[in-house]
Amino acid sequence: MLINKLPRYEILSEEAMATLDGGWRRIVSELGIEFQHDQALDHFRAAGQKVEEQTVWLDPDFLLEQVAKAPRQFELQARNPERSVQIGGDAMVFSAVYGCPFVREGSERREATMADFENLVRLAQAFPQLDSPGGTICEPNDTPLDSRHLDMVFALLTLSDKPFMGSVTSGPNAVDTIAMAEMVFGRESLERTPAVISLINVNSPLRYDDRMLSALLEYAKANQALVVTPFLLMGAMSPVSVAATLAQQMAEALAGIALVQLVRPGCPVVFGSFLSNTDMQSGSPSFGTPESATGLLCTGQIARSFGIPWRSGGGLTSSQTPDAQAAYEAMMTMVPTMLAGANFVMHSAGWLESGLVSGYEKFIVDIEILRMLQEQFKPLEISEATLAYGAHEEVGHGGHFLGAVHTLERFRECFYRPLLSSTENYERWKRNGGKDAAMRAGEIWRKTLEEFEAPPLDDGLRAQLSEYVVRRRAELGD
Amino acid sequence: MLINKLPRYEILSEEAMATLDGGWRRIVSELGIEFQHDQALDHFRAAGQKVEEQTVWLDPDFLLEQVAKAPRQFELQARNPERSVQIGGDAMVFSAVYGCPFVREGSERREATMADFENLVRLAQAFPQLDSPGGTICEPNDTPLDSRHLDMVFALLTLSDKPFMGSVTSGPNAVDTIAMAEMVFGRESLERTPAVISLINVNSPLRYDDRMLSALLEYAKANQALVVTPFLLMGAMSPVSVAATLAQQMAEALAGIALVQLVRPGCPVVFGSFLSNTDMQSGSPSFGTPESATGLLCTGQIARSFGIPWRSGGGLTSSQTPDAQAAYEAMMTMVPTMLAGANFVMHSAGWLESGLVSGYEKFIVDIEILRMLQEQFKPLEISEATLAYGAHEEVGHGGHFLGAVHTLERFRECFYRPLLSSTENYERWKRNGGKDAAMRAGEIWRKTLEEFEAPPLDDGLRAQLSEYVVRRRAELGD
């Protein structure tokens, strides 16, 4: 977890903020938001909002009253208390890629398996730059669909001791996630301090579907954290305008956050953003674009104005391989993420091919990017001591600092040390095999897995979790 | 030229600025700066500064008085008046890589030739994201050393009509550059508005050498613009401390800028920065590091406090190939360059292998990065029109915006369109050859050269320039 004490980079004027404010108010009150779940509609109806069929017309001020019940920041428990994190304020929490049906390993692209899932959780556990493996780090397509959430939660709870994300594929699957978390954390502790954070995507534009709502309702009842995220690819799920998309994002996110607060006032919730654009030439989604970077900067400023934590960012790219494009697009997303101070960053490592692929080598590229940026976004110490006048006296005009006492006393710690990047001179690099960053990344993730040791876990607890998985799998008919 | 109207990202507190101010004042007044050229020493002596052997102890306030004579911004003429640029204020001017003895083309790394020089100037001319080809875009090693500056200036003046950088390898070479520029611009026009901008590197720490000073003196006499740049790799030319290096950079740059103003008050000058660090494990220079990014942000804030234009940034990297490392390190340099609003950006395209190599494919990677960032750093329009409420009314809940009237009216212009990046889905990408960014970049630069048309040039002027080159080459004995 990074405490980002550097300034936030904000590009919206007060006037722009006021215009956006008018925008979301008009959407929720005149167009309304569709909620495809009776319990959700009942909550809004009981609170006096106008409901017709599945559309809810919302009073903007009522929405803001509900949103104000959400905590400004909250703690998210980890199995290892030292890895618990704060969500909100200056804290930035980084989790791995989420939701990819495929993996890429070197030049091979294939359907993801449970073995891949476990390997990627191990990698997320191994690198301290990640605070969480996330949840569906890839989609384990070789396991039965109805019970795979059990396998995933089991792996997340046993191969990692960092906070994790819950299943949102249905209400019952959310209940399973909560039940397994209770075994680890105890019911009371879990209810007091959330240990599960879950991603609720809006079926944008302006619609929450039944499946996501049923998961939202279960987690909210259990006081577990929710990331309510409009899913906005401009040109597909929103207009081809950043301004219009920001207003829509506010309307959708605030409506869902209000629902969470109606279910359980004070339930920890995160203002989510997933905002990029369609490539209007190919019709494909496009990531790491200038528009998405602008959207990120604006979203941070907007979420702060509502006083709630927010989620966005990551190492997004449309590239098919861990090449130059993958790297510059990941940076196009991750740098604004830092500048805007996102509190919960999904897809921080491994994202490839517009989110269809969890890439092993890309995972390492992203870890290096995180390592660099987490270093850069620390305050710079300017003091008489760091001015190091004595070093200048020591070296003099035209001298060299490499052998200076000042240098020798500090050379181990003075600068960032890369994991993946090479500064080798050409001859040495060539002699060492002339490997590019992707090849070196392959060596790094393999070595990391070889050396991996799972965090300690009580045998009784492991057996209890395992029995739950076996019993529920049988009940689900897999 | 980009007019960057977005906010500057500043991370130094007033207190930090005051500490740095004390730092450079102490260096210039107590340690002094070495100037290895009698004319330079004479200028300082005549102005009442203490000179012993080649060291000048400078009164900080005297320095600031000289610096205040430099223009806050100035125009740099191009052969094509439409390509003239402003240096300073909100303007950001981008020039190509400078000074590389080698080139990389695909998997081949070799000594650069005059043919490479010409090709790279053509590429710099072809892409509107670059305002200038710079100067020594690569070192043409197949031409005679004593006269190669003539060939370079000839190529810069004939294959491009953008502003260019002059030779700084000696005083007489600077005189040749000015003479050739006079043929193109006329003496009066040239003296009124500079058409040559030249890079004067400090032989850091705290030393200006004879060669650079002799070029500085010639250009200053002719009122041509100078970029005075401390050359600072922390751990080699400066202490292993960003704070110490910033103070040293101020001391060195201000001393050189003061000299320019003593030679010719009002001569246009740029506060230069080239600040990165040594990799303390390999002893090699390291680029695109967190420390260099921090240095960039600070330098912008510092240069603005003196009211003069500043230079830094580029697509710097230590990588040997145009791989993921090359891209994320280039972004680690170029994004802070934008955030800090550098006025003159050298090495904006083509830099590879710590500046030893001009890379053809890297050139295209950098052009794509520039295209994206120049788009991102434009103000976002937030208005009732861009809120596009009508588009929401048109599409409704759960609809799709791709076929909406609002989209169809705007789809050509609404989003950034990539040059190099691919958003193709996997099957289509695979069918099209499964090319990564470096391979596609190779196709782009080759096609750009095939389609290149040199900008128009008067035949008489071309002959005059050519005759000058032939005559001077003979005089130089090549």
Whether the CB of B240 is below 8 Å from some CB of chain A: the reply is yes
For residue B313, what pLDDT is reported? 86
Question: Does the beta-carbon distance from B423 to A284 stay under 8 Å?
Answer: yes
Give the residue from B323, B187, B198, B343 showing the smallest Cα distance to B267: B198
* pLDDT of amino acid B25: 98
Question: How do residues B401-452 score in pLDDT, each as one tens digit?
Answer: 999 999 999 999 999 999 999 999 999 999 999 999 999 999 999 999 999 9
Say if CB B169 and CB B198 are below 8 A apart: no
CA dist B105 to A65, B1, B120, Å? 61, 28, 12
SS3 A369: helix
Tell me how far the alpha carbon of residue A444 is from its chain's centroid: 23
Token duo for residue B425 = 């889905």
Percent of chain B with pLDDT over 70: 100
Q: How many residues does chain B have?
A: 478
Interchain CB contact of B57 with A (< 8 Å): no
Question: What pLDDT, in 10s, does the model give residues A63-112?
Answer: 999 999 999 999 999 999 999 999 999 999 999 999 999 999 999 999 99
> Which of B246, B379, B402 is nearest residue A235 as measured by Cβ atoms?
B402
Cis status of the peptide bond prior to A205, with omega within 30 of 0: yes
Q: Phi and psi at residue B134, in whole multiples of 5°?
A: 80, -140
Helices A290-306 and A324-339 cross at an angle (nearest 10°) of 20
The DSSP call for residue B142 is T
CA separation for the pair A135, A270 (Å, rounded): 16
CA gyration radius, chain A: 23
Chain A interface, best mutation among B397, B412, B419, B435, by max A CB count within 10 A:
B397
- Name the pLDDT band for B392 (thresholds 50, 70, 90): very high
Partner-chain contact A382 B283, CB within 8 Å: no
Residue A184 · residue A461 · CB < 8 Å: yes
CB B243 within 8 A of CB B198: no
CB contact under 8 A, B332 and A372: yes
Partners of B196 in beta bridges: B164
Contacts of A453 (CB under 8 A, 6+ apart): none
The two three-digit tokens of residue A330, written as one number = 């990941």
- List the structure tokens of A304: 């702060």
Assign A478 a pLDDT band (cuts: 50, 70, 90).
confident
Residue type for B187, please?
A: R
SS3 (DSSP) at A237:
coil
CA distance A52 to A9: 41
Count of CB atoms within 10 A of residue B154's CB?
A: 17
Host H or E run for residue B472: helix B459-476
Task: Tell me what percent of the residues of chain A surpass a pLDDT of 70.
Answer: 100
Instruction: State how far the Cα of B296 lies from the Cα of B275, in Å rounded to an integer.
Output: 8
- CA-to-CA distance for A307 and A70, rounded, in angstroms? 9
- pTM greater than 0.80 (yes/no): yes
| In the predicted structure, residue A15 carries a pLDDT above the cut 90 | yes
> Which residue in chain A is spatially nearest to B400 when comparing CA positions?
A236
A 10 A CB-CB count for A428 gives: 12
Question: Using CA atoms, how far apart are residues B124 and B120, in angstroms rounded to an integer?
Answer: 6
Chain A positions in Cβ-Cβ contact with residue B330 (cut-off 8 Å)? 328
B275 neighbors B296 (Cβ within 8 angstroms): yes
- A120, A172, B117, B422 from B101: Cα distances, Å: 43, 65, 11, 32
B391 contacts chain A (CB < 8 A)? yes
What's the rounded Cα separation, in Å, for the pair A288 and A277?
Answer: 9
- With beta carbons less than 8 A apart as the criterion, state whether B275 and B316 touch: no
- Contact check, Cβ <8 Å, B279/A410: no
DSSP state of B111: E
- CA A197 to CA A209: how far, in whole Å? 19
Q: Å from A179 to nearest chain B CA?
A: 33
Backbone phi, then psi, for B271, in 5-degree steps? -75, 110
Asked if the C-beta of A9 comes within 8 angstroms of chain B's C-beta atoms, the answer is yes
Count of alpha carbons within 13 angstroms of residue B419, beta-carbon side: 22
State mean pLDDT over B278-293.
Answer: 95
The amino acid present at B461, given as its one-letter code, is L
Chains A & B: contacts with CB separation below 8 Å = 397
Torsion of CA A59, A65, A67, A70, to 10 degrees: -160
Q: Which residue of B has its CA nearest to A384?
A: B19
Check if the beta carbon of residue A455 is closer than 8 Å to that of residue B363: no
Interface test with B, best of A386, A410, A427 (most B CBs within 10 A): A386
Closest Cβ opposite residue A321 in set B321, B327, B436: B436
Determine contact: B458 vs chain A, CB below 8 A.
no
Q: Give the sign of the dihedral formed by CA A354, CA A357, CA A358, CA A359.
A: negative
Residue B250 C-alpha, separation from nearest chain A C-alpha, in angstroms:
12
A458 φψ region: left (φ > 0), alpha (ψ -120 to 50), beta (else): beta
Asked if A384 has any chain B CB less than 8 Å from its own CB, the reply is yes
Distance, CA of A299 to CA of A273 (rounded, Å) = 7
**Mind telling me how many Å the CA of B206 is from chain A's nearest CA?**
5
**Res A472 pLDDT > 90:** yes
CA B296, B298, B303, B309 torsion: positive or negative?
positive
Helix ranges (H only) for A269-359 are 290-306, 324-339
User: Shortest CA distance to B240 belongs to which of A6, A375, A370, A385?
Assistant: A385
Chain A residues touching B341 at Cβ < 8 A: none
pLDDT tier at A224 (50, 70, 90 boundaries)? very high
Asked whether the beta carbons of residue A239 and residue B401 sit closer than 8 angstroms, the reply is yes
Nearest to B67 by CA among B250, B258, B301, B302: B258
Which residues does chain A have within 8 Å of residue B6's beta carbon, measured at their own beta carbons?
11
The answer to whether the Cβ–Cβ distance between B402 and A278 falls below 8 Å is yes
For residue A282, the model assigns a pLDDT of 86
Cβ pair A329:B393 closer than 8 A: no
> Which residues, including other chains, have CB under 8 Å from residue A426's CB and lie 6 or more apart?
B109, B320, B353, B356
CA distance B212 to chain A (A): 14
Q: Where are the alpha helices (DSSP H) in A193-323?
A: 210-221, 242-263, 290-306
Q: What is d(CA B299, CA B305) in angstroms, rounded to the nearest whole number? A: 10
Which residues lie across from A333 on neighbouring strands? none
Cα distance between residue A105 and residue A258, in whole Å: 42
With cut-offs at 50, 70 and 90, classify the pLDDT of residue A287. Answer: very high
Chain B residues inside the 8 Å CB shell of A291: 415-416
Determine, for residues A318 and B421 on separate chains, whether the beta-carbon distance falls below 8 Å. yes
Please answer yes or no on whether B402 and A236 come within 8 Å at the CB atom.
Answer: yes
DSSP conformational letter for A141: T
Read off the tokens for A323: 């090449």
Q: Do B407 and A293 lie within an 8 Å CB cutoff?
A: no
- pLDDT of A268 strictly over 90: yes
How far from A299 is each of A296, A343, B3, CA to CA, in Å?
5, 12, 24
Instruction: For residue range A425-455, list pLDDT tens digits in order.
Output: 999 999 999 999 999 999 999 999 999 999 9
pLDDT in tens, A105-124: 999 999 999 999 999 999 99
Contact call for A392 and B239, based on CB within 8 A:
yes
CB contact under 8 A, B236 and A290: no
Look at A420 and B325 and tell me if their CB atoms are within 8 Å.
Answer: yes
Q: Please give the average per-residue pLDDT across A151-163, as a whole number.
A: 98
Q: Is B26 on the interface with A (CB under 8 A)?
A: yes
Q: What is the mean pLDDT of chain A?
A: 97
- pLDDT for res A19: 98
Output the pLDDT for position B478. Answer: 84
Tokens 């207003």 label which residue?
Answer: A247
DSSP code of B83?
G
Q: Any alpha helices (H) in A47-147, and if so which ranges? A: 60-67, 114-126
- Note whether B437 contacts A325, CB cutoff 8 Å: yes
B119 SS3 class: helix
CB of A322 less than 8 A from some CB of B: yes
Place of tokens 């990014």: B293
Chain B positions in Cβ-Cβ contact with residue A243 (cut-off 8 Å): 380-383, 386-388
Residue of A nearest to B107 (CA): A434
Is the CB of residue A52 less than 8 Å away from at least one CB of chain B? Answer: no
In percent, the amount of chain B with pLDDT more than 90 equals: 99
Does the beta carbon of B265 lie under 8 angstroms from any beta carbon of chain A?
no
Q: How far is A376 from chain B (nearest CA, A)?
A: 5
* Cβ count near B319 (within 10 Å): 30
**B394 touches A at CB < 8 Å:** no
Distance CA B14, CA A471 (A): 64
Quick check: B282 pLDDT over 90?
A: no
Helix (H, G, I), strand (E, B) or coil at B247: helix
Which structure tokens are listed for A215?
């998961």
- The vertex-B297 CA angle with B295 and B299, nearest 5°, equals 65
Residue B274 in contact with residue B229, Cβ under 8 Å? yes
pLDDT at A313: 86
State how far residue A167 is from chain B, nearest Cα, in angstroms.
Answer: 23
- Cis amide prior to B205 (ω within 30 degrees): yes
What's the rounded Cα separation, in Å, for the pair B147 and A169? 72
Pairing of strands B85-87, B91-94: unpaired
Q: Are A145 and A472 contacting, i.e. CB atoms less than 8 angstroms apart? A: no
Burial B55-86, CB ≥16 within 10 A → b, else e: bbebebebbeebbebbbeebbbbbbeeebbbb
Please choose, from the candidates B466, B275, B373, B389, the residue with its C-alpha nearest in 3D space to the C-alpha of residue A244: B389
Other C-beta atoms closer than 10 Å to the C-beta of B408 total 12
